[in-house]
Structure formats: C-alpha cells, structure tokens
Amino acid sequence: MDAASEPQVVLLGPALLVSAILFTIGVAGVLLRRNAIVLFMCIELMLNAVNLAFVALAQVHGANGHVMVFFVMCVAAAEAAVGLAIMLSIFRHGQSVDLENINLLHG
C-alpha cells in the first residue's frame, strides 16, 4: 500500500460512521414525526446519507459510486418537487399538513 492511497482508507471509516448516523436520524424522524414537511426533510436526510456513503466508498472501489450519487440526486429532486406539490395541494384543501388530519380518501 503506497502513501498516496493511505488518506482515502483512513477517512473511509469516519465518513461511513457519519453516513450511518445521518441515516439513523432520518429513519427516527420518519418514524416519530407526523408533520409532512418534516417527513420529507427526513427522507432527504436519508438520501443524503446514502450519497455520502456512495462517495466514501467510491474513493476505494472506483467511480461507480459517483454515478449512483448522480442518480440518487435526480430521484431526490423529483421526490422533492412532486412531494412539495402534493403537500401544497393538501394544504390548500385542508389548511394543515399534519399527517393525522389528512383524510382526503374518505367519502
């Protein structure tokens, strides 16, 4: 192992640890919160944690991680646009984005 590849291996562990912590915070937010805006923010946090893991692992395993980050960012952007449009529509209809108060499917 040469000196040029040593810093990449040293930073892999802390980057994956931060990624795991961010993902855990996102999962906890999805499971515990009832506000739709906070729910979408937690989903975005989980996607960014996965991006961090992909970038950290791409330093060791090649550029495929960077390609996956691009696709995850595209999915996150589409999710944010569609999710915010749906939340705006629900807010206009019921003046609340609390997930317990949303009952649009009731007849």
Q: What is the pLDDT of residues 38-79, one digit of tens each?
A: 888 999 999 999 999 989 888 888 788 888 889 989 998 998
Q: How confident is the model at residue 12 (pLDDT cuts 50, 70, 90)?
A: confident
Closest CA to 69 of 82, 44, 83, 52: 52
**Least confident stretch, 4-18, 63-77, 93-107:** 93-107
pTM (two decimals): 0.77
Cα(18)–Cα(23) distance, rounded to whole angstroms? 9
Q: How confident is the model at residue 105 (pLDDT cuts 50, 70, 90)?
A: low
8-state DSSP, 3: T
> Could you tell me the residue range of the domain that residue 47 belongs to?
6-94
CATH number at residue 77: 1.10.287.3510
The pLDDT value recorded for residue 4 is 58
Q: How many domains does the chain have?
A: 1
In a domain, 100, yes or no: no
Calculate Rg over the CA atoms of the chain: 18
